[in-house]
Amino acid sequence: MTQIPLVRLRNGDQVPALGQGTWNMGESAAQAAAEVKALQAGMELGMTLIDTAEMYADGGAERIVGRAIAGRRDEVYVVSKVLPHNASRRGTIAACEASLKRLGTDRLDLYLLHWRGSHPLSATVEAMQALVAQGKIRGWGVSNLDTDDIDELLEEDNGGQCLTNQVLYNLSRRGIEYDLLPESLERGVPIMAYSPIEQGRILKNAALSAIAQRHGVTPAQVALAWVLRQPGVIAIPKASDKEHVRQNRTCLDITLADTDLKELDAAFPPPRRKQPLAML
């Protein structure tokens, strides 16, 4: 099994390029035990970056993560997010403390602004820096910020401490390749790709299916391998059962040929101009 590449963040942390997402977890008590086992299976396979948010199932996903990492906190890199309406200086700190309680831990490895709201970025950055100083988070970043927002962020005091930007990126959502992705990598800010298979909506594409058949794998594995083909990109697919986790993990064993990439470009054309940042 191919080793998971590591992505280095500007604070020196190294994280696996393939992690685990938790969007839609924690919504059903009947599914909770399977979700916990799925996350633990991923941890065993080296997918030790686990991404969650206070928004997911109104804190339910954080509780699932807390159960999965209980007694194993030092093995994982935990990411959570603050909602925009909580992202004032005082609100960010309170939201972080609530997330820590649900996760059953004393610290987050990475804390993100989920998307931009009405609170000034300066207030959020100030809160994030305070949380770092208090040892409640190791570092912070943002999510769903486009180039203009990132430019503004980097002009703030300590804005350059931003470790990542988590955005929607997959074969059918390639707009960031025009500007945000290359500019971010040039600045040393890795991109974290959420919904890397577009929540399954792209999997019946004929070109994707044909390439998967040639490689003897699933379309989802090809789509994930495509996202992870370049350095500086982290993918966080969600899987709710152990077999799905294993399939996600083995996407790294796939090497896409130039012909594969050309066929995917034809089926999912890269951007030729600036596009508004896509969000789900």
Note whether 39 and 31 are within 8 A (CB): no
* Strand ranges inside 158-265, DSSP E: 165-168, 191-194, 233-235
* Strand ranges inside 103-256, DSSP E: 110-113, 140-143, 165-168, 191-194, 233-235
Instruction: Please tell me the distance from the alpha carbon of residue 236 to that of residue 146, in angstroms, as a whole number.
Output: 19
CA–CA distance from 67 to each of 39, 72, 131, 263 (Å)?
10, 10, 24, 42
Q: Name the residues annotated as catalytic.
A: 56
Instruction: Please tell me the distance from the alpha carbon of residue 269 to that of residue 280, in angstroms, as a whole number.
Output: 20
Note whether 27 and 60 are within 8 A (CB): yes
